[in-house]
Chain A
Amino acid sequence: MELFGAIITLLGAIFLLIASIGLVRMPDVYNRLQVGTKATTLGTILSLIGLAIVIPGWSGKLILLIIFVMMTNPVSSHVLARAAYYIKLPYTSRTVVDKLKVSDKVLNVEMEKRYGLESKTLKVK
């Protein structure tokens, strides 16, 4: 049983390795984010699950860590992707379609009409 947990941990480490290789190979920011988020999340989760199998007494904190990683990692990559989109980082030349650019202008105008100025301008202090 301990051996099984150790092998799962090794599998997680291999996924982390794949994530870093993908980070080096992919051509633009969005694809790097794709590889980075998915492979690191599964890699870390598998490592922690493997450790929880090796030592069942530790599973409380390990479960908390797993929930924490699953909560924060997609959110941070979403915020990064949004920032990368708004500072207009270039796509790779193989990109086929960009629906957000088409509807961006229309939606912005709509937003302003619907929420007035307070949606765009926040008063701070």
Chain B
Amino acid sequence: MKNIFIIIIIAAFGVMLYPLFEDFSGNDELSELASFYAQKENVEKVNSANLVTAVVVTYRGLDTLGEVTILFLAAAIIAFSLRKHSVERDLRRNSEIFKTASKVLIPIIMMVGVYIFMNGHLSPGGGFQGGAVLASAVILMLLAFPNIPFNSKLFAYTESISGLVFVGLAAIGALIGSGYLDNAILPLGTFGELLSAGAIPVIYSFVGLKVGAELSNILNEFQSVQSDN
């Protein structure tokens, strides 16, 4: 009886969404907004090869600011609602091979993360993905060496300084350039090089550092409330 009710609700939802499916006949050309972004003179104004990055960082940069704020709030709530308590845990020792391999892998993973967020304007990638990869290096460290003291102060400082620099760069764009989060405050450079696209690599690097530090803090909070069972 209850299941029938649920099926009716889901079917109603499906009917509600069905026009989206029916009217869709496969796009043949870009929408107006996207073709505005893809025109040559507009691309050269931003000079970023990856148009998604251009949309995320400059055109819709305020959304990114809100997103980073939401992530920061989530991290703060998690840190607030998890009560830390020190327990003595009876962990099995890690295998020696895994320890050695993670010693070799951690710097390489960090390098890959830095590559991903520095090349956000040339390749798929950017601050959020690079930050996630940096956080995965931290989580590998926590897994392999659980008794190394985790310096959460360092991560908190990194996070707040990166956030301040991000907002400051955006405001400088409003002061010198044409608007908030304008990327033309640095010389634009030639199209398709690493040092091009004005302030986009710098902004995305700080976004990456901030996201990486936030995610590392979240994961460390989760790690620190584990207990034996």
A122 and B105 in contact, given A75-B98, A79-B95, A82-B95 (Cβ under 8 angstroms): no
In the complex, which residues of chain B have a beta carbon less than 8 angstroms from the beta carbon of A75?
97-98, 101
The A interface is mostly helix, strand or loop, or mixed, namely: helix
Question: Does residue B153 face the partner (Cβ distance < 8 Å to A)?
Answer: no
Indicate if the CB atoms of B95 and A71 lie closer than 8 Å.
Answer: no
The stretch that binds A, out of B6-14, B86-94, B156-164, B192-200, is B86-94
Name the interface residues of B120-172: CB closer than 8 Å to any CB of A.
Answer: 146-147
The number of residues on chain B lying at the interface, defined by a beta carbon within 8 Å of a beta carbon of chain A, is 19
In the complex, which residues of chain B have a beta carbon less than 8 angstroms from the beta carbon of A86?
92
In the complex, which residues of chain A have a beta carbon less than 8 angstroms from the beta carbon of B92?
86
The 8 Å CB contact of A122, one of B84, B86, B98, B146, is B146
A124 and B95 in contact, given A71-B105, A72-B105 (Cβ under 8 angstroms): no
The 8 Å CB contact of B91, one of A71, A78, A121, A125, is A121
Indicate if the CB atoms of A120 and B93 lie closer than 8 Å.
Answer: yes
Q: In whole Å, how far is A83's beta carbon from the nearest beta carbon of chain B?
A: 10
Question: Does residue B104 face the partner (Cβ distance < 8 Å to A)?
Answer: yes
In the complex, which residues of chain B have a beta carbon less than 8 angstroms from the beta carbon of A120?
90, 93
Indicate if the CB atoms of A78 and B84 lie closer than 8 Å.
Answer: no
Task: A120 to B89: give the CA distance in the assembly, Å.
Answer: 9
Question: Does residue B50 face the partner (Cβ distance < 8 Å to A)?
Answer: no
Question: Does residue A93 face the partner (Cβ distance < 8 Å to B)?
Answer: no
Q: In whole Å, how far is A61's beta carbon from the nearest beta carbon of chain B?
A: 10
The residue on A at minimum CB distance from B86 is A125
Question: Does residue A119 face the partner (Cβ distance < 8 Å to B)?
Answer: yes
Indicate if the CB atoms of B104 and A71 lie closer than 8 Å.
Answer: yes
The residue on B at minimum CB distance from A79 is B98
A-B contact pairs, 17 of them (CB 8 A): A71-B104, A72-B101, A72-B105, A75-B101, A78-B97, A79-B95, A121-B88, A121-B89, A123-B89, A123-B147, A124-B87, A124-B91, A124-B224, A124-B226, A125-B84, A125-B86, A125-B224
Q: A75-B101, A125-B224 are in contact. List 19 more A-B contacts (CB 8 A).
A: A71-B101, A72-B105, A75-B97, A78-B97, A78-B98, A82-B95, A119-B93, A120-B90, A120-B93, A121-B90, A122-B146, A122-B147, A123-B89, A123-B147, A124-B91, A124-B226, A125-B84, A125-B86, A125-B87
